Amino acid sequence: MKRIDEYQGKKVLVMGFGISGINAAHLLVKLGAKVTANDKAIPKTNEIVNDLEADGIKVITGDNPISLANEGFDVVVKNPGIPYDNPLVAAFVKQGIPIITEAELGWQIFDGHLVSVTGSNGKTTTTTLTQLMIAENAKHQVKYAGNIGISFSKIAEDLGPDDTLVTELSSFQLLGAPTIHPHIAIITNIFSNHLDYHKTRENYINAKLNITRNQTKDDFLVINWDRDEWQRIAQRSQATIVPFSRLNKSHEGSYVEDGMIYWRGQEVMPTKDIRLIGPQNVENALAAIAAAKLSGVTNEAIKKVLTTFSGVRHRLQYVMEYQGRLFYNDSKSTDIEATEVALQGFDRPVILLAGGLDRGYTFERLVPYLKKHVKAMIVFGECKDKMKDAGNQAGVSVIESENAITAVPEAWKLSEPEDVILLSPANASWDQFPSFEVRGDKFIEAVEELTGKKEQ
């Protein structure tokens, strides 16, 4: 941990009691700040509140009182999910008070080697693969943190100058990380996500590009080269560009040619040996390989990771096989693009479980993938009628169910040996579940109840 004094004696407001906010509040106390923590949803009796107060932190819960804007705060550390049009946040913006996220605080105290990953899809898998690959050859600590569910600042506290930290960073986090400077940055892809938060695609792209804002030619931006738009986006960085390409559009970084993965002309391994299924995981592997090779990792270490790693929970996660059926949990597929790539990973007939929060769009784009890969659909949630329309257009048998849990026995009734039963909703979970993680966990529980087996 790097010792800094810029918070000594400063008044800091931490907004949000998530994992990152709690750790940020305690860290700021160690750095000498006078900390107030605010969350509109946590009751005063909560154990978290007691822990904060025991550390000398003033706690305000049940509201985001606008009066806090008049208390002379020097800095605000905001939970990434709180939008900038929140009245209290907007008041701080109007006053010109710096608003950062916990990722910025983590960067400020970190003095090791930083690798950062962002993108619309594939962030967590790429982060995990990169950390595992670098750790295979490392003589010092190699950890991961960030949007992957582990506090950046908490891990950064325990690392030294020779250690490596691989961070997953969302667009929300990057908006509040003005000085972050990874030596290696990865952009897996950019689609049109979170426009309810960012308002426009250009705003979303700009937020993602904050990952490379402070990079120089001595740093590296690893970026997907398979779309012209992403190639153009890369030109907005001052870093040395390292492309990765599943579609063989560049040989300057990592790429696939005739079923073989290469790094700058050198064979690494066949794509068929990657344990993770699907074209999206080939892309995730290519991104991780580029970062690993730039970090001095051997091909042997890379192959060891890619032939043994079976996936991140809720991200095209293999659950089990039962009576010839394969069950997969892809609850993290909260947009159409993610479900498209998930379906492409299977050459067996798929029974697709899909649906969720209605964000106003329709699903015609899925029709070609449904025609090619899906034998039946179980649809649920707010957008089930729109999902059903897409299934009907594709000529796929469609039935309705209440949710992702009740859909499991319905899918079983429709299945035969050699089928895949896949939860890949193409929609957010918030109409029925508090998160995609809960949705995926409940799906797995339903599979376990159906089969009498535990997930593998």
Find the CATH number of the domain harbouring 227: 3.40.1190.10
Q: Which of 238, 273, 308 is the last residue of a domain?
A: 308
Report the distance separating Cα 321 and Cα 310, nearest Å.
14
190 & 243 share domain = yes
Instruction: Flag whether 121 is marked binding.
Output: yes
301 & 152 share domain = yes
Report the distance separating Cα 128 and Cα 133, nearest Å.
9
Residue at 194 is within a domain:
yes
Q: What confidence score (pLDDT) does residue 34 get?
A: 98
Q: What confidence score (pLDDT) does residue 44 get?
A: 66
Q: Which of 100, 120, 151 is the last residue of a domain?
A: 100
Tell me if 75 sits within 8 A of 98, measured CB to CB: yes
Instruction: Flag whether 216 is marked binding.
Output: no
264 & 289 share domain = yes
Q: What confidence score (pLDDT) does residue 366 get?
A: 97
90 & 114 share domain = no
Report the distance separating Cα 179 and Cα 106, nearest Å.
11
Residue at 377 is within a domain:
yes
Place of tokens 């049940």: 62
Instruction: Flag whether 334 is marked binding.
Output: no
Report the distance separating Cα 296 and Cα 3, nearest Å.
29
Tell me if 427 sits within 8 A of 403, measured CB to CB: no
Tens-digit pLDDT profile for residues 322-358: 999 999 999 999 999 889 989 998 999 999 999 999 9
Tens-digit pLDDT profile for residues 106-120: 999 999 999 999 999
DSSP secondary structure string for all residues of 99-168: EE-HHHHHHHH--SEEEEEE-SSSHHHHHHHHHHHHHHH-SS-EEEEETTTB-HHHHHHT--TT-EEEEE
107 & 247 share domain = yes
Instruction: Flag whether 124 is marked binding.
Output: yes
Tell me if 114 sits within 8 A of 167, measured CB to CB: yes
378 & 245 share domain = no
Instruction: Flag whether 112 is marked binding.
Output: no
How many CA atoms lie less than 13 Å away from 267 in the CB half-sphere? 6
Q: What confidence score (pLDDT) does residue 45 get?
A: 72
| Number of domains observed in the structure of the chain | 3
Report the distance separating Cα 166 and Cα 152, nearest Å.
9
Residue-number span of the structural domain to which 60 is assigned? 11-100
Give per-10-residue mean pLDDT for the chain (456 aa): 95 95 97 97 82 96 96 97 95 98 98 97 95 96 94 96 98 97 97 79 95 98 98 98 97 97 98 92 97 98 95 89 96 92 92 96 96 98 97 97 98 97 97 96 98 93
Instruction: Flag whether 119 is marked binding.
Output: yes
Residue at 70 is within a domain:
yes
Tens-digit pLDDT profile for residues 252-269: 999 999 999 999 999 999
Residue at 4 is within a domain:
no
Beta-bridge partners for 326: 321, 420
Q: Pairing mode, if any, of strands 113-118 and 75-78?
A: unpaired
* Nearest C-alpha neighbor of 243 from the set 234, 253, 235: 253
Instruction: Flag whether 324 is marked binding.
Output: no
* Nearest C-alpha neighbor of 237 from the set 267, 256, 270, 214: 214
118 & 107 share domain = yes
CATH code for position 75? 3.40.50.720
Report the distance separating Cα 93 and Cα 89, nearest Å.
6
96 & 109 share domain = no
In this structure, how many other beta carbons lie within 10 angstroms of the beta carbon of residue 450? Answer: 16
Q: Which of 257, 290, 308 is the last residue of a domain?
A: 308
193 & 123 share domain = yes
